Amino acid sequence: INVVMEFVLLGFSLSQPMELLVFMLLLTIFALTLMGNMAIITVVYVDLRLHTPMYYFLCNLSLLEILFVLSITPKMLENLLSQAKAISFWGCITQCYFYFFLGTADFILIAIMAFDRYVAICHPLHYPVIMSGHVCVFLVMGCWLVGFLSTLCPLILLCQLPFCGPNVINHFFCDYAPLVRLSCVDTHFLLMIEYVLSSVVLLTSLSVTAVSYLYIIATVLHIPSTTGRRKAFSTCTSHIMVAAIYYGSAIFMYARPIQGRSLDLQKVVAVFNVIVSPLLNPFIYTLRNEKVKEALEEYLTRKNSVLQPEP
């Protein structure tokens, strides 16, 4: 029987002035992340030139990022201003579920985007058939569904664990391993399930992504035109950067043996995974993508002309 009705998120041990400074910094990053990803969704929606599979996937990635930061950051900001730093039992379970659900969907979608670029560059004549509208919708629905279902089993097992105290989680959000370690019973089996599932999701999607880009690079190197090579590489560079950021931090956090994990070091890496990565996504894609930049400039110009009163 659970006697723990709420958990305390230890976070980082900071002085009050430092907590206020970190609060302002995180609030700024949070706002920029939401605005950046919303800008991508809006621009792709209003500009017909961007109604292609690549930008359809990019919109879904931005939507995942928005939901991801909304599941973690508001509570983190609240706790920075609070002395209690508490979260309810079911609030913690819910946050943990959405963190892994949305994170899993993120990695699968990145692999799908890599496959999309592989088909576009290595098989351009077959691209309209292979990546048809129905296929794109099916892939995106599959991505969300796998993320939703793959996280259910370990979370159902987690809900059945007894928590008798202590109730202090050595993290700034409800991550699975620190939460499971607070149970009154032996949780080695549950931690092993988390490790296996995380490894399967990360390494499978990473393999698809890596193989796709290896084929892309081999194909691009055979393009005789320097301009053609540059254009092909510029399209894929942003994808590779996003994939490297996501996989690097997540593999360090979850695809390593449980015994080798330092919770304090994981907290530092988690800051990059939870806060920095969602912010970088829209800026990497907009700054390195001419079509998105042009569409964004045209959209802002139209908005300004509508807002300005006529003389």
**Is 70 exceeded by the pLDDT of residue 308?**
no
C-alpha span between 4 and 76 (Å, rounded) = 20
Which amino acid appears at position 13 of this protein? S
**25 in a domain, yes or no?**
yes
**1 in a domain, yes or no?**
no
**305 in a domain, yes or no?**
no
**42 in a domain, yes or no?**
yes
Q: Which helix (H) or strand (E) element contains residue 161?
A: none
**307 in a domain, yes or no?**
no
Q: Where are the beta strands (DSSP E) in the chain?
A: 6-9, 86-88, 168-169
Alpha helices in 1-52 (DSSP H): 16-46
Mean pLDDT, the chain, integer: 83
C-alpha span between 143 and 110 (Å, rounded) = 10
Domain extent at residue 192 = 6-299
pLDDT tens digits for range 240-259: 777 787 788 777 777 666 55
Mean pLDDT, residues 138-162: 90
Q: Give the length of the chain.
A: 311
Name, of 48-52, 205-209, 284-288, the range with top average pLDDT.
205-209
Q: Can you give the pLDDT at residue 67?
A: 94
**54 in a domain, yes or no?**
yes
pLDDT tens digits for range 15-55: 778 888 988 999 999 999 999 899 888 888 888 888 889 88
pLDDT tens digits for range 73-124: 999 888 888 888 889 989 999 999 999 999 999 999 999 998 998 998 889 8
**120 in a domain, yes or no?**
yes
**310 in a domain, yes or no?**
no
C-alpha span between 43 and 66 (Å, rounded) = 16
**Is 70 exceeded by the pLDDT of residue 304?**
no
Which is more confidently placed, 284 or 172?
172
**Is 60 exceeded by the pLDDT of residue 309?**
no
Q: Can you give the pLDDT at residue 19?
A: 83
Mean pLDDT, residues 284-311: 67
Beta-sheet pairing, 86-88 with 168-169: unpaired
Q: Which helix (H) or strand (E) element contains residue 163?
A: none
Tell the residue number behind the tokens 């409800």, with chain if given: 174
Tokens of 53: 């599979």
Structural domains of the chain, count? 1
Q: Is 8 helix (H, G, I), strand (E, B) or coil?
A: strand
pLDDT tens digits for range 192-202: 888 888 888 88
For position 284, which CATH number holds? 1.20.1070.10
pTM over 0.75: yes
